């Protein structure tokens, strides 16, 4: 029986989202096929082996239970130490259900590669590039995929004149966001130059570098991709907004926004989006899965927004819904990802 280590939590602002996603993954895993090991990371970055109920993870009670044992990574063997330094927690495949921060930016992927353990998702380099939107957009332009005009400034030592010049050049509105990050935390839409300093302070809480980007007049669509060399492309979805943008609250509570599946676009535009998404996925060396998001203008121009290498992964999240629309159930999706991780390791 294969031992699957499901990793959840982490020191990212998306800690709560990770718990929700991990709960769904754990509930879907076939206990007759896999031995499931639950590995939690606290907000402070401490690692624990948790043997309690899945619902305690979802409710964020897991780390206060007695069913937690501190673990440490052993770089010499394919496993983790338990607290007593004598017993190993052996794992065959790791499933890091971690969103944002060190969970998606290549840091933890590098650790897994160092100890030679198969893991679900993109490798170190692809993860790092996709998390860094400035580098991602630079590479996308080299592939003739359009991206919105932007500048990057230091969160501590930015020059308002540089920002002012850019703002006047592209005209408002603009988005002010952390250069690296996810789930729309720290992002502001600015329509008035006098509001820029407040937006910069907000973004500075999440990154040392801030991106200021021209807003696109249009709407956003997402494209889910599953696979290593042979790729499956899910049904495209569309975000219908009633507010200024798809912020953190809307992304996970959908108070006024709606996810429309399939996206209400022509077959021609859908084919172009899928072509661009596959090109990016392969060029960047993505493996396992990714959700690639684009803006479509009212003139049907397509602009890359971002790539999520571990998108929201609850049973009802966008990526699983895209795959369900082409006939892949959530349970089957989870199993395919584990198989893809093993395939990539061989």
Assess whether 101 and 154 both reside in one domain.
Answer: no
Domain end position, chosen among 119, 139, 164: 119
Q: Identify whether 262 is preceded by a cis peptide bond (ω within 30 of 0).
A: yes
Across all residues in the chain, what is the average pLDDT? 90
Of the three residues 174, 191, 214, the one that is the final residue of a domain is 214
Q: What is the pLDDT of residues 21-77, one digit of tens each?
A: 999 999 999 999 999 999 999 999 999 999 999 999 999 999 888 899 999 888 777
Query: Distance of alpha carbon 132 from its chain centroid, rounded?
Result: 12
Q: Which residues of 121-160 are buried (b: 16+ CB within 10 A; e: fewer)?
A: bbbbebbbbbbbbbebbebbeeeebbbbebbebebeebee
- Mean pLDDT for the stretch of residues 283-289: 98
Looking at the structure of the chain, the number of domains it has is 3
Q: Give residue 245's pLDDT.
A: 53
Nearest to 220 by CA among 251, 194, 187: 251
Are 276 and 135 within one domain?
yes
Domain co-membership, 273 together with 136? yes
Number of H helices, E strands in the chain: 12, 18
**Mean pLDDT lowest for which of 12-16, 85-89, 310-314?**
85-89
Structure confidence by residue, pLDDT tens digits, 143-201: 999 999 999 998 888 888 888 889 888 887 999 998 876 556 789 899 888 888 899 89
Does pLDDT of 303 surpass 90?
yes
Do residues 167 and 288 share a domain?
no
Assess whether 96 and 224 both reside in one domain. no
- CB-based contacts of 162, cutoff 8 Å, min separation 6: 151, 153
Q: What is the pTM for the complete model shown?
A: 0.90
Give the alpha-carbon dihedral of 123, 124, 127, 129, to 10 degrees: -130
243 in the same domain as 280: yes
Are 31 and 91 within one domain?
Answer: yes
- The closest alpha carbon to 46, from 83, 79, 10, 95, belongs to 10
Residues 221 and 297 in one domain: yes
Residue 102 makes CB contacts below 8 A (sequence gap 6+) with: 10, 11, 12, 108
Q: Which residues constitute the domain of residue 257?
A: 128-147+217-345
| Radius of gyration from C-alpha coordinates of the chain | 20
178 and 232 assigned to the same domain: no
Do 236 and 170 fall within a single domain?
Answer: no
Same domain, 239 and 340: yes
* Spatial CA neighbour of 29 closest among 259, 296, 336, 306: 336
Question: Is the peptide bond prior to 257 cis by the omega test (within 30 degrees of 0)?
Answer: no
Mean pLDDT of 257-286: 96
Give the end of a domain, one of 174, 190, 214: 214
Q: How far is CA 95 from CA 80, 171, 248, in A?
A: 14, 44, 24
pLDDT of res. 105: 92
55 and 167 share one domain: no
Six-digit token string for 30? 């076939």
- The CATH number of the domain holding residue 37 is 3.40.50.20
Instruction: Give the pLDDT of residue 155.
Output: 84
């Amino acid at each position: 029986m294969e031992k699957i280590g499901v990793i959840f939590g982490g020191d990212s602002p998306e800690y709560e989202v990770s718990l929700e996603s991990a709960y769904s993954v754990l509930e879907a895993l076939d206990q007759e096929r896999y031995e499931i090991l639950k590995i939690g990371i606290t907000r402070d970055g401490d690692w624990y082996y948790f043997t309690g109920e899945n619902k305690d993870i979802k409710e964020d009670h897991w780390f206060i239970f007695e069913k937690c044992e501190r673990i440490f990574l052993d770089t010499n063997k394919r496993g983790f130490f338990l607290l007593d330094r004598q017993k190993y927690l052996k794992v065959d495949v790791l499933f890091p259900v971690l969103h944002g921060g060190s969970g998606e930016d290549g840091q933890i992927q590098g650790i897994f590669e160092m100890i030679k353990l198969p893991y679900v998702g993109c490798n170190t380099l692809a993860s790092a590039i996709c998390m860094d939107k400035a580098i991602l957009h630079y590479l996308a332009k080299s592939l003739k995929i359009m991206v919105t005009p932007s500048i990057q400034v230091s969160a501590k030592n930015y020059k308002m004149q540089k920002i002012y010049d850019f703002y006047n050049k592209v005209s408002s509105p603009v988005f002010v966001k952390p250069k690296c990050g996810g789930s729309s935390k720290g992002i502001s839409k600015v329509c008035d130059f006098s509001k820029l300093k407040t937006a910069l302070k907000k973004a500075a809480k999440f990154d040392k570098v801030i991106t200021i980007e021209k807003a696109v007049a249009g709407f956003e669509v997402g494209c889910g991709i599953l696979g290593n060399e042979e790729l499956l492309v899910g049904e495209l979805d569309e975000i219908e907004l009633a507010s200024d943008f798809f912020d953190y609250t809307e992304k996970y509570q959908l108070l006024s926004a709606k996810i429309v599946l399939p996206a209400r676009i022509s077959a021609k535009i859908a084919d172009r989006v899928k072509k661009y998404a596959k090109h990016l996925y392969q060029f960047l060396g993505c493996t396992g899965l990714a959700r690639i998001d684009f803006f479509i203008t009212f003139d049907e121009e397509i602009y890359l927004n971002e790539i999520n290498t571990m998108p929201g992964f609850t049973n009802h999240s966008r990526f699983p819904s895209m795959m369900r629309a082409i006939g892949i159930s959530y349970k089957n999706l989870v199993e395919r990802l584990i198989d893809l991780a093993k395939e990539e390791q061989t």
